[in-house]
Amino acid sequence: MREQFYSYIQALQDRICAGLEAVDGKATFQEDLWERPEGGGGRTRVIENGSVFEKGGVNISAVHGKLPESMQAYLKVEDADFFACGLSLVIHPKNPMVPTTHANWRYFELYDNNGNITKSWFGGGQDLTPYYLFEEDAKHFHQVCKTACDKHSKDFYPTYKKRCDDYFWNAHRNEARGIGGLFFDYLTPEDDFSSQDWYNFVTEVGDSFLEAYVPIVNKRKDLVYTPEQRDWQEIRRGRYVEFNLVHDKGTLFGLRTNGRIESILMSLPSHVQWKYNHHPEPGSKEAQLIEVLEHPKDWI
């Protein structure tokens, strides 16, 4: 399974990068290959200063070795070897009418002293963080997510949509990071679903990403915006940074396993603001967004 899934994310990285480059029309992804001293490595691809995308990364990695003690405690396991691979992406567009997006699909294995797998699971999802709310965009993104889920179980979309709302919650701000999507973790083999079944589901979601995001980008990328709207985008990016550095499990895992810092922090935007005690004008488009972030809604 580890070879099968790693081959998949290598091909998916190629497809997503090609799809986003076609949308941008100017910038291309720059590739950076790296190795982890303890075992494994990755292929980081970053796009910057494009006509559409200000900064973005589409990274894959496959790392292995001894599980650090901090992660043993976090995962509630004893001394073990591990293998983890995944694709992680964050795209920050230039135009504030185009939403930021994030996605991740990953696979994890733990081994005993004889090299036998003791535990394995999949995780991941995809989500949308708009700066200005277009309800038709939210509905489109969630409908693509639901369609992918429904092919495997009618229960998946409502379950993983709710988990996404719960996970991407900036508790210290009492608001969501964005308008959600899907989030799933610890998808382990059991009676109803084998590892291959979970693989089929996770890759179905991965394959749906460009369909979920690119039509939104194409619809909004040429809209006119003001300097004030750009300021709002950068203020909201500050909340995005706060979540990633305070709450995000992927960031935490990377930092605790001596991950490559440039790849871990590629999710941070180039231009961001923190304004003291900032609140949007009541009744404004900005206030409309905050209302949805404070009270996540069902889009389907």
Residues 6+ apart with CB under 8 A from 251: 244, 245, 264, 265, 267
CB atoms within 10 A of CB 165: 20
| Gap between the Cα atoms of 122 and 190, Å rounded | 13
Marked catalytic residue, from 92, 102, 140, 142: 102
CB atoms within 10 A of CB 73: 10
| Gap between the Cα atoms of 78 and 76, Å rounded | 7
| Gap between the Cα atoms of 259 and 284, Å rounded | 42
CB atoms within 10 A of CB 253: 21
Catalytic residue list contains 64:
no
- Tokens at 42, concatenated: 């990755």
- Tokens at 101, concatenated: 């997006």
Residue 87 phi/psi, 5-degree rounding, is -115, 135
Instruction: Of 111, 100, 96, give the one whose Cα is nearest residue 64.
Output: 111
Q: Is 284 helix (H, G, I), strand (E, B) or coil?
A: coil
Residues with catalytic function: 102
